[in-house]
Chains A and B, each alone.
Chain A
Amino acid sequence: MYRETDIIQSADQSPEGDMIINVGPQHPATHGVLHLVITLNGETIKKVEPHLGYIHRSIEKMCESLSYRQFIYVTSRMDYLSAHINNHACALCVEKGLQVEIPERAKVIRVLMDELTRIASHELWWGAMAMDLGAFTPFFHAFRERETINDIMEETCGARLTMNYMVPGGVMHDIHPNFQRRVKEFLQLYKSKIHEYDELVTGNIIFQNRMKGVGMLSAEDAISYGCTGPVARGSGVSSDIRKVQPYEIYDKLEFDEVLETGCDSFARYLIRIKEMNQSIRIVEQLIDNIPEGDFQAKTKAVLKLPKGEFYTRVETARGELGVYIVSEGGTTPYRIKFRSPGFSNLSVLDKIARGGKIGDLIAMMGTLDLVIPDIDR
């Protein structure tokens, strides 16, 4: 699977005493097919060079020949852990072009789904992160709660991973009659278990020692490299799109943007743990207040966007997702660009890893929370 030229090129350029190590593309800690060519001097990392494209499907090109109703389904396959939020971003962008106002009920359902997705995504990250660092038990603890969310999703959307539930104009169909009851059950379950997360991992001294002071990222670098989401917020950069450019009903909800100033892996870890609690707060505010009414606005069967450019930004579990549609007035987009959070977050890996130890690389990569299909698209 290695591209031969990569290894030879890098070896030629490196001075005496340096060693080239390939991590991936099938390494368990890369959670997908990411290939890193690492230049080492002893145990010290001199350079990390990501090689992408192992799961590139050219989603942007595909979208150019799909209609405005169809292309949304492809986007579930980008960041598969935030499928709802990807769909949401695309639906918002199409609605911006159509100038459709969507019903209140649809807005609330969308936000509920987004926040449940965010919790599920962070749960998986937490389990996988701990597993990368050698602890196997947390993975099962995380999946216990995550499966409950997946069951709720399955009941309403019919899918556990690629939901395809948000459509231009609202949501595809109404929530399942059991939805509210089961979400409340989940909230109870989550609250009775969340202390285990801190007891197992957060407060664990071995774990803390491996995370603190590792992968330092200054606020200036975070902005310059275009980092968003928990990665930027771990360096104290306010970047939550839900706060800085609110969409749907986020401006009416009570929640805090979590910021940490540690700038290291541990700060990024804490952000995600605290963000789950903020998402729980949002779900609690909304679950008993889903307004009655339509779940979808009336739209034409064939959607046509006026000539022009439309851009939406939303906050996924990994950071800022931007959808940029250039329309020539037809039924398909002329050009679509997905500004994926993972792509920019990966670009900073070389910066934070240089000078660190090879053993710490996994802790750095883990807290960047990379999802490879989101990077390659």
Chain B
Amino acid sequence: MTNEELKAKLTEMHPEASFEEGGEWVNMVCSTGDLLSLMQQLRQEPSLSFDYLFCLTCVDFKTQLTMVYHLTSTSFRHKLVVKVKLDPKQPEVETVSAIWRTAEFLEREVYEMFGVNFLHHPDLRLLILPDGWEGKNPMRKDYEDPVNMIKL
């Protein structure tokens, strides 16, 4: 599917969803509550069949945290970017690890680096940071480490 066809199809399925312009792929913005049902639809709908989550990450825009999901289909090769905006004070979103297993590790990384709480995640623990690491999330823009910070 080309970007235009994909966008038309998605608008038909979700009239309330908004799209961000720019970028080489379709950028779809959805609300926190709709994420899980939308993702399930994207995976299961035969004409879309987004079976491969090739990147999952988070961007700290200070006023909001944005979760970014890069999806593609191994049979159709079309690509889609789904974004969810979260409140930086209490970031919470449903896990997608039941749909794509790769999300389990990627979400653990986002959890420790950005402090996003993934609801119903099977094993939400620190992955890279050492045990006993509390509170501070190193990839947040307001993170300051008085001891080890290398000022470049």
Residues of A within 8 A of B (CB): 3, 5-6, 52-53, 56, 58, 60-62, 65-66, 221, 223-226, 237-239, 244-245, 308-309, 311, 313, 320, 322, 324, 326, 334-335, 337, 339, 343-344, 346-347, 351, 376
Q: Can you report 10 A-B residue pairs in the complex whose CB atoms are below 8 A from each other?
A: A52-B128, A61-B139, A226-B100, A308-B22, A311-B25, A311-B55, A313-B54, A320-B54, A326-B59, A347-B105
A60–B104 CB distance below 8 A? no
A-B pairs with the 3 shortest C-beta distances? A226-B102, A53-B128, A65-B152
Closest chain-A Cβ to B124's Cβ sits at a distance in Å of: 14
B77–A244 CB distance below 8 A? yes
B101–A224 CB distance below 8 A? yes
Closest chain-B Cβ to A75's Cβ sits at a distance in Å of: 15
Closest chain-B Cβ to A336's Cβ sits at a distance in Å of: 10
User: What 1/0 flags go to B111-147 for Cβ under 8 Å of A?
Assistant: 0000000000000000111111000001100000000
Closest chain-B Cβ to A232's Cβ sits at a distance in Å of: 9
Partner of B53, one of A52, A56, A226, A351: A226
Q: How far is the CA of A66 from the CA of B150 in the complex (A)?
A: 12
The closest CB in chain B to the CB of A237 belongs to B74
B138–A61 CB distance below 8 A? yes
The closest CB in chain B to the CB of A53 belongs to B128
A223–B52 CB distance below 8 A? yes
Closest chain-B Cβ to A345's Cβ sits at a distance in Å of: 10
Interface residues on B, range: 20 to 34
Q: How far is the CA of A337 from the CA of B113 in the complex (A)?
A: 12
B138–A223 CB distance below 8 A? no
In chain B, positions 77-108 with a C-beta closer than 8 Å to chain A are: 77, 100-102, 104-106
On chain B, the residues within 8 Å of A337 by CB distance are 55, 57
Q: How far is the CA of A339 from the CA of B103 in the complex (A)?
A: 12
On chain B, the residues within 8 Å of A311 by CB distance are 23-25, 55, 70
- Given the contacts A60-B139, A326-B59, A335-B59, A309 and B23 also touching, CB distance less than 8 Å: yes
Q: How far is the CA of A309 from the CA of B151 in the complex (A)?
A: 25
Q: How far is the CA of A53 from the CA of B77 in the complex (A)?
A: 33
Most B C-beta atoms less than 10 A away, residue of A66, A308, A311, A334: A311
Q: How far is the CA of A326 from the CA of B68 in the complex (A)?
A: 11
On chain B, the residues within 8 Å of A221 by CB distance are 101
Q: How far is the CA of A346 from the CA of B101 in the complex (A)?
A: 12
- Given the contacts A53-B130, A244-B77, A224 and B102 also touching, CB distance less than 8 Å: yes
Partner of B55, one of A3, A224, A324: A324
Q: Identify 14 new A-B residue pairs, CB closer than 8 A, beyond the known A5-B131, A62-B152, A322-B55.
A: A5-B132, A52-B128, A56-B128, A58-B138, A62-B150, A224-B100, A225-B101, A226-B54, A237-B74, A239-B74, A244-B77, A309-B22, A324-B57, A347-B105
On chain B, the residues within 8 Å of A334 by CB distance are 59
B128–A376 CB distance below 8 A? yes
A53–B127 CB distance below 8 A? yes
Closest chain-A Cβ to B12's Cβ sits at a distance in Å of: 25
Q: How far is the CA of A279 from the CA of B28 in the complex (A)?
A: 38
- Given the contacts A223-B52, A313-B54, A308 and B70 also touching, CB distance less than 8 Å: no
On chain B, the residues within 8 Å of A53 by CB distance are 127-130
B55–A339 CB distance below 8 A? yes
B102–A225 CB distance below 8 A? yes
The closest CB in chain B to the CB of A344 belongs to B102
Q: How far is the CA of A3 from the CA of B127 in the complex (A)?
A: 13
Q: How far is the CA of A237 from the CA of B74 in the complex (A)?
A: 8
On chain B, the residues within 8 Å of A343 by CB distance are 105-106
Most A C-beta atoms less than 10 A away, residue of B55, B59, B130: B55
Closest chain-B Cβ to A215's Cβ sits at a distance in Å of: 16
On chain A, the residues within 8 Å of B152 by CB distance are 62, 65-66
Closest chain-A Cβ to B36's Cβ sits at a distance in Å of: 17
On chain A, the residues within 8 Å of B100 by CB distance are 224, 226
Q: How far is the CA of A5 from the CA of B6 in the complex (A)?
A: 48
Most B C-beta atoms less than 10 A away, residue of A58, A60, A309: A309
On chain A, the residues within 8 Å of B70 by CB distance are 311, 322, 324, 339
